[in-house]
Amino acid sequence: MSHVMGSPDTGGHFGDFGGRYVPEALMPACLEVEAVFREAWSDPEFVTEFRETLRLFGGRPTPVTPLERLSEHLGLRVFAKREDLAHTGSHKINNVVGQALLTRRMGKRRVIAETGAGQHGVATATAAARLGLDCTVFMGELDTQRQALNVFRMELLGARVVPVTSGSRTLKDAVNEAMREWVTCVDDTHYCLGSVMGPHPFPWMVREFQSIIGAEAAEQLRALGVDEPDLVVACVGGGSNAAGIFAGFADSRADLVGVEAAGGSAVGSGVPGVLHGMRSMILQDDHGQVEEAESISAGLDYPGIGPEHAYLASIGRARYTRAADDEVLDALRLLSRLEGIIPALETAHAIAWLVREAASIPRGSTVLLNLSGRGDKDVAQVRTLLEERA
Amino acid sequence: MTRLDRELRDLRDRRRALVPYFMAGLTPNWTQYLDAAVQGGADVLEVGVPFSDPMMDGPVIQAAGVRALERGVTLEGVLDELARTDLGVPVVVMTYFNVMHYRGLERAAGLLASAGVAGVILPDLSLEESAPWRRAAGARDLATILMVAPSTPPDRVARIVATSQGFVYAAARMAVTGRASGDGEAARVVAGIREHGDVPVYVGIGISDPDQARHATRDADGVIVGSALVQRVLDGESPAELETLISRFRRTIDEGAPEA
């Protein structure tokens, strides 16, 4: 049986997207990561350790919660996959546990990572602490100011946070800086990339680590009497939570919907380009310079999208749409009040789309929402935004 | 074999190549720095075209790229100015692959060739992804120069040496540009390249003063000097001052060269 979200070709391509566009200095490291991941992922011992670490340390499986009051409000049957309940408050833990175990398997002693809002940085620092690895996190200087508490969290966990002052001083520059650092230390350091992006094998490997979300959810929905949801919806920045949940349903009849930030809509407003080691849809100006994404949610503040998403869009298997800042704030409030769950601003994009489109979805449809993260990190910002709006 | 291959093989019989790098459009008079470099003894000019996300560049070239982009520099503008400037030495453009990809490979290669550019260095275009670009460039006699890093294993070195045109760019160290000084692992990298073919080998990344350039060219056929020059342009030094510096590089390299 062939799978819609199967393995990329040997060069890491999903259709016309993906590949490996990195300086020669990093090619051997990428090839090594690929070889070690291939071997580990078919080694039952590694897979067991991955799953057990997520169970005993990461808080998995996360439940699927029927959102009864939201369902009534929207005239749909909405279920949430509760990644907000995973350790560190989002799905990010799945990927970092996988990559930290891989780092140890490669005999390396240190990880570096980029982070935007800080979620991936905190998750990486957490996994590094658990496995006794040194950890350095690159974070745009602007983001270190906007997310000062997450900087402190990473430091509490023993990581070093390096503010990135180049370019736009946000996530995309943090990726550039992490790549530059990796060139100097590939011998003993693994670059723990935070999403389904970057050069092969990262988009594929991160999706594989995140696919535990979709696999669990499919089984949990069946236990709740839902053979197959009609719709699966997730927010998309780089797209790791969406890839993880889509992977469980790509071969089903479910519609797959990814919701980007209106100011960071790589599929909606971008054109094919090459950035951060991959060919994908990228926001660019009229001269091929990469544009900065703008969103209230730092986690979606990325001008590209994972190449497999670009591929799923190109073949029409998933569709990508967007939510604007205002409706996102409304959605965050709605879910908080109706369900007692404060979602992350990123996650609220998926909810906002669902609220906006509910009327055009057949009544009673079954919807699986990936509740990718909790909103604790955003509460102060949301308060300011709501006060400004009032 | 491209025009650049032939020219650089001829050059190798005469002297070690000195390849200064300048960021296009960094100042309004940026092409005067190119003229000055040729006056000072440059054999090839490497012209950087700024890109928003220069993954292989350190702080100096990043800063230069930001400034050039703020001045509104575009590939087309740079090529217009290059086409109007008679430098008398081959020009190699260094930028990132997206700058070409955005325009379409055929079109981008055509623009470069029409402006008289002899070759390109695209550090994020891996050997594995390079075939479509090399086809487009090759059809217009435009050389694609590939890099060998200290981390490159021998089987890859062999494939890169067989594929690179003009010269092979030997990275002296595992670093981005302008972060460290000295020729690092250059001797080992150059020796590794020599085992796989008789191609001109130029060393770059970390060559910041004339003595380092002389040291590197004991083994290599040429050196690329980038951040050390660009920093001076950023600091406001004039083309004449850069010419003086480049002529010092020239003299020091020539004095240190073994008898041809």
Task: Kindly tell me if the per-residue pLDDT of B258 is higher than 70.
Answer: no
Q: Could you tell me the CA-to-CA distances from A344 to A297, A356, A373 in Å, in that order?
A: 8, 18, 5
pLDDT value at position A117? 81
Q: Which of B62, B67, B33 is nearest to B47 (CA)?
A: B33
Enumerate the active-site residues of A.
92, 114, 372
pLDDT value at position A175? 95
Q: For residue A111, what is the enclosing H or E element?
A: strand A110-115
DSSP state of A326: H
pLDDT value at position A158? 98
What digits encode the pLDDT tens for the residues A93-142? Answer: 999 999 999 999 999 999 999 998 899 999 999 999 999 999 999 999 98
- Judge: A279–B123 Cβ closer than 8 Å, yes or no: no
Q: Which CATH architecture has domain B3-256?
A: Alpha-Beta Barrel (3.20)
Pairing of strands A278-282, A271-275: antiparallel
The model's confidence at residue B260, banded by pLDDT at 50, 70 and 90, is very low
Q: Does domain A59-90+210-389 have CATH number 3.40.350.10?
A: no
User: What residue spans in chain A does CATH classification 3.40.50.1100 cover?
Assistant: 13-53+92-202, 59-90+210-389
Q: What is the mean pLDDT of residues A184-200?
A: 97
pLDDT value at position A350? 98
Task: Kindly tell me if the per-residue pLDDT of A1 is higher than 60.
Answer: no
Q: Which of A21, A28, A166 sits opposite B152 (nearest CB)?
A: A28
Phi then psi for residue A20, to 5 deg, are -145, 95
Instruction: For chain B, give every domain's residue range.
Output: 3-256
pLDDT value at position A26? 96
CATH number corresponding to A13-53+92-202: 3.40.50.1100
Q: Is the peptide bond before A61 cis (omega within 30 degrees of 0)?
A: yes
pLDDT value at position A301? 85
Minimal Cα–Cα distance from A25 to chain B, Å?
5
pLDDT value at position B257? 65
What digits encode the pLDDT tens for the residues A203-214? Answer: 999 999 999 999
Q: Could you tell me the CA-to-CA distances from A121 to A113, A136, A151, A176, B224 in Å, in that order?
A: 6, 9, 9, 15, 37
What digits encode the pLDDT tens for the residues A375-388? Answer: 998 999 999 999 99
Nearest-angstrom CA–CA distance, B199 and A77: 67
pLDDT value at position B180? 78
Interface test with B, best of A287, A291, A302 (most B CBs within 10 A): A287
In this complex, is the C-beta atom of B71 within 8 Å of any C-beta atom belonging to chain A?
no
- Whether residue A22 contacts residue A30, with contact meaning beta carbons closer than 8 Å, is answered with yes
Task: Kindly tell me if the per-residue pLDDT of A266 is higher than 80.
Answer: yes
- Judge: A24–B150 Cβ closer than 8 Å, yes or no: no
Nearest-angstrom CA–CA distance, B159 and A386: 59
- Judge: A23–B124 Cβ closer than 8 Å, yes or no: yes
What digits encode the pLDDT tens for the residues B200-218? Answer: 999 999 999 999 999 999 9
- Judge: B75–A287 Cβ closer than 8 Å, yes or no: yes
Q: What is the mean pLDDT of residues A72-101?
A: 98
In terms of Cβ atoms closer than 10 Å to its own Cβ (0-12, 13-18, 19+), residue A340 is exposed
Chain B residues lying within 8 Å of A27, measured CB to CB: 126-128, 149, 151-152, 156
Q: Which of A345, A3, A40, A379 is nearest to A205 (CA)?
A: A40
pLDDT value at position B183? 81
Q: What is the mean pLDDT of residues B69-75?
A: 97
Q: Which of B55, B126, B150 sits opposite A20 (nearest CB)?
A: B126
B:177-216 residues touching chain A, CB 8 A cutoff: 179
Q: Which of A167, A183, A279 sits opposite B174 (nearest CB)?
A: A183
Average model confidence (pLDDT) across chain B: 96
